Amino acid sequence: MKRKARPGSATSAPHPVEPTVVLSPSEQLRPLSENELDVLEQIGSHWAEVLRRDGGSLPAPPIDPAPGRYAKPVLPSRLGRFARVRMSKREAPEEAVAVGPAGPPRSRLGGALHTARRLMTGPPLRSSAVMEERMRKIVALPVLASDLLSSVAYGPQAMLTVLALGGSVALALSLPISVALIVLMVAVGTSYRQTIRAYPSGAGSYLVASDNLGPRAGLAAGAGLLTDYVLTVSVSIAAGIQAITSAIPSLAPYTVELGVLAIAILLAGNLRGVRQAGYLFAAPTYAFLVAMFALIGFGLAKSGAHGFAVTPPPAQTATEAVTLFLIVRAFASGATSMTGIEAVSNALPVMRPVEWRNGRTVLTVMVGLLVFLFAGLMILFHLGGIMPQAGETMLSQLARRTFGGGPAYAYVQITTALILLLAANTAFSDFPRLLFFMARDYYAPRLFLRMGDRLGFSNGIIVLAVAAASVFAVLGGRTEALIPLYAVGVFLAFTLSQAGMVVHWWRRRTEGWRRSMAINGLGATLSAVVALAAAVTKFTEGAWIVVFGIPLAVLVCLRIRRHYDLVGRALALHTLPSSARGRRFVPSPEAWGRPSQARRPAVGQEQEESPEEIDHLAVVAIARMDLASLHALAYAASLGQPVLAVHISPDADEATDFRRQWQRFGDPLPLEIVDSPYRAIVAPLVHYLEALHAHPAEVTLTVLLPEIVSRHLWTQVLHNQVAGRLRRALRPLPGVVVTTVPFHVRD
């Protein structure tokens, strides 16, 4: 397994380094291509001509847009939160800068919520506070190993639970299966060592599989890992709670509540951002290792004192025949002991240089520890005749047997629970990061690119917490119900990642590629066998959810990508045919109804239009002649564009009344009344506007909706919700712009 250090490869990676991933808040904005910039320039020069800005056809802003010159204290409104903006004086005298984070709204409820949020997450951090914390090996090991090592708290038990179904005969197979699992651990570990060498800047399964096997394989690995992270949280919390309820059985009925509470605490901690506490996180892992070493040492010593006599386990009644199926199922369940082995390859950027070398060392130590713990526990379970039983974990039984019920026993249980909590916590940094990578490639909603107040990807954190808590609650926090879902996704990701490495070595053929390819090939094959075994043998127990879920997730990701590509193309700047330029539709009553010669954009899609090409009609929807309506009418009339008032009347008498009022008003603007004998308001108005819009003259309709705004949320329900409904109904209409003219009521 040891590779000779070659000259020149000590400080630099053996292959071209991928650029280190920069997590920047501007990642959310797609940059403009050089071609688009050219088009922008062309469009701009046309606009300049049209607008003759200096000549003066468009008036200059009536007020100075730089607020610094007259800034006076502005108080936040009752409902809104805002961040203070000041002119930045030194760097860019013309630029405004938000000098603080968003403050609380002035309403009492809003303020309380704001305070609660601040207390939970702390004050927002500036983008410039993003920093890469590099970890020494002694710190990296416990932080990265927690997920892997904590798996021995449930993996062996999951395996023996299956075997017990076959009765005492099947139990005799536990040691051979354990040996097979240890071979698997070493093989996969070695395989990941190769990956680390090839991808020194971080080698998540999603990246490696995408890079070498194409986007579909990458997405499958990504989807597998996402389910894995959700289940890591659920399973680890479930096992942690089990460690506690094994010691204190009276807490058992509150398993679901305790689990959801634990997830809520992890959520709060991660929203706050616990990265800086990395050193603190080292403690539970070392404490757990101490507990395990003590347990295995004392246990073996105690057993040695009795000449390693095997206590026969309580007689098991076989409920299933000992078939190959049962054995494979037990093997697949036991394989959950090695979940988390991929942690180092994901986290290389947080290692100190030389990252890949340190990473390999950490990985080797981790796998060594895993093999030791797994083997030690399996031997002790065998010697002690310990079997899975309801209400107490096997680890708890072993500890109780070895140490009695005293403080040493309590120490084992507490450290087990702590490392499991820590393992769940690692998923809270991996899951959002993976979603970030997927969103950056347009395979996941862009909102996962957004950095929260504390520079974490809060959207991903929240999604993980909700998903894990739901899975946990639905399955009642029972580890045995969660395990079948677990293995498939993990080993699928392992398989794809290592198969990707095989392709990688095949393509590059750098020095020693044959050996690396062979190692990765073995790892991929073994992982594939486990994934397949898990999918088949646990299909009916819940694995079907993952088996069908992952392809579905891949499809959804591809659809998301397709949508973003489509939007990207639709939004990309491109030149218009020159024939479209210079047209101007001159409205005249005679021209009504005659088709215009002008270019007509495809229905359903706006094209870039030059300002002079837009003909306006402002349509003001009026229910009754009150100040709010007059305000909207005045606003419309003051724009200097043609105005049309529309009234939807529920019956003929009301229509007559309204027309009379309008005449009394002096008929200053054209009015159209639409009778609506079925009392609907939105539907006839929408059709009327569509009918207007069907006119060939291609007019942009600006629909103005007077809206009463009151200061309290509860009073909003007292007013007609028509404005909101109209806005939603008018949204899909091309060429219709909706403007809400608020009328504020002080209440």
Looking only at residues 99 through 158 of this chain, which bind a copy of itself when binding is defined by CB under 8 A?
A: 100-103, 124-128
Nearest distance, CB of residue 593 and a copy of itself, angstroms: 4
Would you say 133 or 609 has its CB closer to a copy of itself? 609
Give the range of 315-323, 408-416, 462-470, 582-590 binding a copy of itself by CB under 8 A. 582-590
**Coil, helix or strand at residue 85:** strand
Would you say 357 or 647 has its CB closer to a copy of itself? 647
The count of residues interacting with a copy of itself (CB under 8 A) is 186
Would you say 508 or 695 has its CB closer to a copy of itself? 695
Give the range of 20-28, 279-287, 427-435, 459-467 binding a copy of itself by CB under 8 A. 20-28
Would you say 268 or 573 has its CB closer to a copy of itself? 573
Neighbour-count burial of 425, counting CB atoms closer than 10 A to its CB (0-12 exposed, 13-18 middle, 19+ buried): buried
In Å, what is the CA distance from 9 to each residue of 27, 357, 511?
Answer: 33, 10, 11
The DSSP-derived string for 115-142 is HHHHHHH-S---GGG--PPPB-HHHHHH
Cα separation of 727 and 724, whole Å?
A: 5
> Which 703-722 positions form the footprint of a copy of itself (CB under 8 A)?
708-711, 715, 717-721
**Does position 272 bind a copy of itself by CB under 8 A?**
no
Would you say 509 or 687 has its CB closer to a copy of itself? 687
Would you say 292 or 645 has its CB closer to a copy of itself? 645
Nearest distance, CB of residue 660 and a copy of itself, angstroms: 9
**Does position 467 bind a copy of itself by CB under 8 A?**
no
Give the range of 143-151, 321-329, 415-423, 690-698 binding a copy of itself by CB under 8 A. 690-698
Nearest distance, CB of residue 380 and a copy of itself, angstroms: 49
Nearest distance, CB of residue 34 and a copy of itself, angstroms: 11
**Does position 734 bind a copy of itself by CB under 8 A?**
yes
Nearest distance, CB of residue 38 and a copy of itself, angstroms: 9
**Does position 172 bind a copy of itself by CB under 8 A?**
no
Give the range of 158-166, 253-261, 502-510, 682-690 binding a copy of itself by CB under 8 A. 682-690
Q: Return the DSSP state at 389.
A: B
| Beta pairing, strands 671-675 & 615-621 | unpaired
Cα separation of 243 and 420, whole Å?
A: 9
Closest to 530 (Cα-Cα) out of 334, 370, 366: 334
Q: Give φ, ψ of 744 to 5 degrees.
A: -90, 130
6, 15, 20, 29: residue in contact with a copy of itself (rule CB under 8 A)? 29
Would you say 8 or 59 has its CB closer to a copy of itself? 59
Cα separation of 733 and 606, whole Å?
A: 11
**Does position 654 bind a copy of itself by CB under 8 A?**
yes
Cα separation of 254 and 212, whole Å?
A: 47
Neighbour-count burial of 282, counting CB atoms closer than 10 A to its CB (0-12 exposed, 13-18 middle, 19+ buried): buried
Nearest distance, CB of residue 120 and a copy of itself, angstroms: 17
**Does position 683 bind a copy of itself by CB under 8 A?**
yes
Nearest distance, CB of residue 116 and a copy of itself, angstroms: 18
Dihedral sign, CA of 425, 429, 430, 435? positive
Would you say 9 or 641 has its CB closer to a copy of itself? 641
163 neighbors 318 (Cβ within 8 angstroms) = no
463 neighbors 267 (Cβ within 8 angstroms) = no
Nearest distance, CB of residue 201 and a copy of itself, angstroms: 22
**Does position 529 bind a copy of itself by CB under 8 A?**
no
Contacts 24+ apart (CB under 8 A), 565-572: 565/442, 568/30, 568/442, 570/605, 572/33, 572/36
Q: Residue 551 is which amino acid? A: P
Contacts of 452 (CB under 8 A, 6+ apart): 271, 458, 459, 461
Contacts of 261 (CB under 8 A, 6+ apart): none
Would you say 279 or 635 has its CB closer to a copy of itself? 635
**Does position 426 bind a copy of itself by CB under 8 A?**
no
CB hemisphere CA count around 644 (13 angstroms): 17
502, 564, 620, 621: residue in contact with a copy of itself (rule CB under 8 A)? 564
> Which 476-505 positions form the footprint of a copy of itself (CB under 8 A)?
none
Nearest distance, CB of residue 158 and a copy of itself, angstroms: 37
Cα separation of 490 and 221, whole Å?
A: 8
> Which 48-107 positions form the footprint of a copy of itself (CB under 8 A)?
48, 51, 53, 57-67, 69-72, 74, 76-85, 88, 91-92, 95-98, 100-103
**Does position 675 bind a copy of itself by CB under 8 A?**
yes
**Coil, helix or strand at residue 155:** helix
Cβ atoms within 10 Å of 134's Cβ, excluding its own: 15
In Å, what is the CA distance from 333 to each residue of 244, 290, 395, 479, 731?
Answer: 22, 26, 17, 12, 52
CA 144, 150, 153: angle at the middle one, nearest 5? 170
17, 40, 172, 265: residue in contact with a copy of itself (rule CB under 8 A)? 40
Nearest distance, CB of residue 582 and a copy of itself, angstroms: 15
> Which 594-653 positions form the footprint of a copy of itself (CB under 8 A)?
602, 604-617, 623-628, 630-631, 633-635, 637-644, 646, 649-653
Cα separation of 444 and 606, whole Å?
A: 26
Would you say 115 or 721 has its CB closer to a copy of itself? 721
Structure token pair of residue 402: 């070895």
**Does position 680 bind a copy of itself by CB under 8 A?**
yes
**Does position 666 bind a copy of itself by CB under 8 A?**
yes
Cα separation of 446 and 456, whole Å?
A: 15
Closest to 256 (Cα-Cα) out of 470, 409, 416: 470
218 neighbors 548 (Cβ within 8 angstroms) = no
Nearest distance, CB of residue 147 and a copy of itself, angstroms: 30
CA 672, 638, 629: angle at the middle one, nearest 5? 50
Would you say 110 or 269 has its CB closer to a copy of itself? 110
Give the range of 311-319, 334-342, 358-366, 665-673 binding a copy of itself by CB under 8 A. 665-673
3, 15, 41, 119: residue in contact with a copy of itself (rule CB under 8 A)? 41
Nearest distance, CB of residue 285 and a copy of itself, angstroms: 33
12, 25, 116, 253: residue in contact with a copy of itself (rule CB under 8 A)? 25
